[in-house]
Amino acid sequence: MNFNSLIAYGVAVIAALATISCTTKTPAGEYAVPQTPICEMSYTPQATNFELWAPTAESVVVRLYTGDTLSEQIAMEKYKNGLWRATAAGDKCGMYYTFQVTVDGKTLKETAGIFARAIDVNGNRGAIIDLNSTNPEGWQSDCSPKIKREDIVIYEMHYRDMTAHASAGTLYPGKYLGMAQRGTRSAEGLATGIDHLVEMGVTHVHLLPTADFGSIDESRPTDQYNWGYEPKNYNAPEGTYSTDAADPKARIRELKTLVKAMHDAGLCVVLDVVYNHTTSTENCGFELTVPGYFYRMCEDGTFANGSGCGNETASEKAMMRKYMVESLEYWVKEYHIDGFRFDLMAIHDIETMNIIRKRLEALNPDILLYGEGWAASSPLYDESKLAFKRYTHRMEGVAAFSDDIRNALRGTLDLSSGGFIHGVKGNKEALKFGIVGGVEHPEVNHAEQAWCASPMQHISYVTCHDDHNLRDRLEHLSSDATEAERIKMAKLAHLGVFVSQGVPFIFCGEEMYRSKLGEKNTYNLPDKYNAIDWSLKHTYSDLVEYVKGLIALRKAHPAFSLGSAKAVRKHLKFIESSYDAAVGFVLQDLKEIDTAQSIVVLMNGEKQSVTFDIPQGNYTLVADKDKVSVSGLGQYEAADGKITVQPCAGVILIAQ
């Protein structure tokens, strides 16, 4: 769930109750849409062309500004398919523009439009620039790293979280360039930033919302914090993370510099995108160009609120669908982005998500697409046509976050109960469901129906930016435990993620046991709560090495990512245990799949030792409660076909 406007779950509940009586209004009339891509501002030194899709407008003007001074006003001419067009002769580079639409005799506020690619401070006006002038050195030769699908490891991060603390050692704290900087070190001499990500072995860096959002005043010093789930201009980068928000080119150039630095380091870049709602309706281009069209509207004329943030967009409408597709294509083409995470994806319709996947795969066959398979409350559309988690199997190439494995491992969102790692009963089948990657399996009896057609559609995780982070959860739910005991729980949780057949996902700083000082919803709290203190990497180096080892082990053994439901059912067999918080499984018959003949994984969340029955044979121990090593921690002979696993511990055995 997107919590940036929800201080507590109660707000979402109120929003849900408010929409119970909200019945569907007959959708605003569909209008013809252009078949070719729309470019609201197209610059050349000889002239700048403008076009705006406003099929209900009676008139439209485009206004040109030099600084804050209105320099010129041009009446746009109505074209076909709802387009209005105008040309400003001469070299207008460096000027700003707005559109102003009149509908039903009412002249609306000025807007930068909906396709603005360069903007002024706070994004109220578009900027006329030559995009080619924003390319950093070597940009034309920049290309995405080739990552095998089975090797994907996603690392979610916020720019300020990673770089704002003095211990990050960057010259540009909280900025695009801060994250792009190589060679940064903590006071202890340990790698931070990009170098840390490379060291850990992650492959895809998930950046929290990067498109321009409306919750921070870019004209003020950038000590403000927000996750950014309040989108305003979808095709322009946020100025907060730029070294000069007043320069429309700077934010573009600096984001490209970051993307290139990531690519040069062998990392793919995933953007968190928020097409499901806007920061407001009265100040965003959608409502200021075609009122009542881009959002789902109730019968009484109010905005539907499936997002819990005051509105929800209508992806099923032709122009909104076209807009989403072309916006995403633009990020891939102009910024070389490698994937997208969709906020509250269940507000979008399945057909649109499938079109997006096909269109983006045409640009990049390795594009990574995933999202939240839920909404804050019921969207105002046919539920069976929306991208809810339960319909993920109907969206080939699109994955969803698995709250199944999340809740099974660490407990429920409301902290009312712990999970498997706390020894809590009732999580066994949900954990097994997560281990098989959410696909049908004859040995899994989970309450939920299998929702993945492929395990690659299952994002396995225990925490993300939402909700309490893992350390804070453990300190709350296991306050009587020692820190050493809680770290054992953290290790077991991470092991559960990385041995699952789904795509592993880790929240920034969890590998070094970060804390958010017990706060659940830190979307707008200062760096004190959000910034990572990189001295933790030294303090909790044992946990860092454990997670690093799990990533390396997963990459070394393709059997942990079999890639298809059929292969999972064939090769993954569970080991029976009478204990409620004990799960074991064998990956077997791995000839031509893996260097191992078989792999045994045992997870004991109980507060007592548990003995498992495993196939007889000689094994190499590669993981236990303390360490993980691809080359092995020692030998284990299971002559009697048994092994005892200590409390709150995991064991991985390899038979060569």
Which amino acids are annotated catalytic?
343, 372
Distance from the first to the final alpha carbon of the chain: 43
Q: Which residue has the tokens 């967009």?
A: 313
Q: Assign 157 to helix, strand or coil.
A: strand
- To the nearest 10 degrees (0 to 180), the angle between helices 470-477 and 483-498 is 130
Q: Which residue has the tokens 């746009």?
A: 76
Secondary element (H or E) of residue 569: helix 565-571
Cα gap 502→452, rounded to integer Å: 10
- Structure tokens that stand for 445 in this block: 């009896």
Cα gap 636→632, rounded to integer Å: 11
Per-residue DSSP letter, 432: H
Per-residue DSSP letter, 23: P
Cα gap 291→286, rounded to integer Å: 7
Amino acid identity of residue 301, one-letter, is G
Dihedral angle, C-alpha 7, 11, 12, 15, nearest 10 °: -140
Amino acid identity of residue 120, one-letter, is D
For 295-364, list the strands marked E by DSSP: 339-342
Amino acid identity of residue 65, one-letter, is Y
Residues near 68 by beta carbon (within 8 Å), at least 6 away in sequence: none
Cα gap 536→540, rounded to integer Å: 6
Closest CA to 387 of 351, 341, 434: 351
- Write down the H helix ranges in 109-247: 159-163, 176-180, 193-200
Amino acid identity of residue 629, one-letter, is S
Angle at 201 between CA 179 and CA 361, to 5 degrees: 80
- Tell whether the torsion through CA atoms of 462, 465, 468 and 469 is positive or negative: positive
- Structure tokens that stand for 203 in this block: 């492959």
